[in-house]
Amino acid sequence: MLVSALLSSCTPFGESKLQMVKKAGEILVLTRNSPTTYYQGPDGPAGIEYDLAKAFAKRLGVSLRIEVADRSRDIVPMIANNQADFAAAGLAVTPDRLKIVRFTPPYQQVRQQLVYRAGTTPPKNLSALQGQALDVVSGSSYIEHLQQLKLLYPSLKWTAVHDAEAEDLLIEVQQKKALFTIADSNIVALSRQFYPELKVAFNLDPPENLAWAFPDSNDNSLYNAAVKFLDDMRRSGELAHLIQRYYGATSSFTPINIAAYREKIKTALPTYEPLFQASGRKYDIDWRLLAAMAYQESFWDPNAVSPTGVRGIMMLTKTTAERLHIADPLNPNSSIDGGAEYIRDIINQLPSHIPEPDRTWMALAAYNVGTSHLEDARIITQQQGGNPDKWKDVRKCLPLLAIHAWYSKTKYGYAHGYEPVEYVKRIRIYYDVLVKMNRERRAREHNDALHIRAPAM
């Protein structure tokens, strides 16, 4: 292995590493499958590390090739052995890691946080944590940090969990299978979008720096190019924009406020109801379902823009809008028509034997998370002995796509599996309320008409 590593660090005919990458026309980047790094979104690859690496590859004029490590703890040793050009994987810079790889200057700073579930009495500080049950990812920077803290708090103890990532242990805490865990603040922030019962007891000092990791080499050409790229991204504001895009929203789902929704049905919906009805007729979809989708997406705000860049009353992504030839997603007519066409396309793509209404609920889930991840969930459902054609069974398995033991065995990997379940649930609530109010309105109109026609006594 040592000979292989030495040979791979040599450059033929005096070519620098940067020249070799450009000549090959490709850069190989090692990462991990997670919401804070790289994953398959509804419109293709996504994640802050993926976006950064893709922008760097574009700067170099080469294509990006992603390799996903099985475990986050494998990444630094793989880079040390020259198994990729560099790692973009949300890696914390630690003393132990600095012994075998070199890091760029940090592009983001996070805090390690002690996390518990609401209803549990949390420790107020590290002194109070001593002797408590604490589950931590094996081989992580958290272990390295705890080992340093143990010098000050000798009774500090923890269990190193080998078959899990930080996101998995947060779910364990959410499900009351673990009492406490430690995770980076960016991971905690994303997880709390889907598991709001997770709470932060306190931060561990000092803050952590996240950076790209490169093999230790005398050739600085590619490393220096990456350092300059990250500095340029910081100076231009693009780095801050990416961080805001992925971490700016504190929650994907605000609490359902039915009173506010009913009021909006009276005040805002009449403006857009003819558009929903026209698109519903055009694509053979209940217009009230389209209206419920639009309320979930934008609260019927035609100028809505999310931190992730989706826009308009149906919040279509740029990729989807381009595929549907929508020039202006902020135009309510175009956006509603595009959303209707998109959900109809998804419904038609699903296997023909899936019955209604399960077919519609699954299509809504795919509208949110993508058809590929829905198919992964249906496969897991079948493996678990459930019916992959029944939404009540599939919705139980979708959250498994956020757990490493499950998504590592799927074709399309990690997904925010809880999000589409909540998404469909909310749309069904909005739809049911709208159907009820629509029925009440028709009854009132009918009674009013009878009253007008009734002869005077």
CB 122 within 8 A of CB 199: yes
Query: In the structure encoding, which two tokens stand for residue 138, read together?
Result: 């094996």
Strands annotated E in 164-197: 181-184
pLDDT score for 430: 95
Cis bond upstream, residue 399 (ω within 30): no
Distances (CA, A) of 158 to 83, 96, 149, 191, 296: 32, 19, 12, 22, 41
pLDDT score for 317: 87
Task: Please list the alpha-helical segments (H only) found in 87-154.
Answer: 95-98, 126-129, 141-149
Chain position carrying tokens 């005096």:
14
pLDDT score for 196: 84
Angle, CA of 64, 68 and 74, to the nearest 5°: 130
User: Residue 437, class by beta-carbon neighbours within 10 Å (0-12 exposed, 13-18 middle, 19+ buried)?
Assistant: middle
One-letter identity of residue 437:
M
pLDDT score for 192: 85
Q: Which residues are catalytic?
A: 297
pLDDT score for 448: 58
Q: Name which of 140, 189, 137 is nearest 163 in CA terms.
A: 137
CB 48 within 8 A of CB 243: yes
Domains (range + CATH), the chain: 2-108+211-247 (3.40.190.10), 109-209 (3.40.190.10), 258-441 (1.10.530.10)
Q: Which residues contact 183 (CB under 8 A, 6 or more apart)?
A: 112, 113, 115, 142, 166, 167, 169, 170, 191
**Ordered per-residue pLDDT tens for the chain, 457 residues:** 333 343 344 455 579 999 999 999 999 999 999 989 999 988 889 999 999 999 999 999 999 999 999 889 999 999 999 999 999 999 999 999 999 999 999 999 999 999 999 999 999 999 999 989 999 999 999 999 999 999 999 999 999 999 889 999 999 999 999 999 999 999 998 888 778 899 999 999 899 999 999 999 999 999 999 999 999 999 999 999 888 888 765 445 667 889 999 999 999 999 999 999 999 999 999 999 999 999 999 999 999 887 667 889 999 988 899 999 998 999 999 999 999 999 999 999 999 999 999 999 999 999 999 999 999 999 999 999 999 999 999 999 999 999 999 999 999 999 989 999 999 999 999 999 999 888 877 766 656 555 555 555 4
pLDDT score for 141: 94
Distances (CA, A) of 313 to 148, 263, 316, 364, 386: 51, 18, 8, 16, 36
Instruction: In whole angstroms, give the CA distance from residue 281 to residue 275.
Output: 10
Query: In the structure encoding, which two tokens stand for residue 211, read together?
Result: 């950076």
pLDDT score for 249: 57
CB 136 within 8 A of CB 169: yes
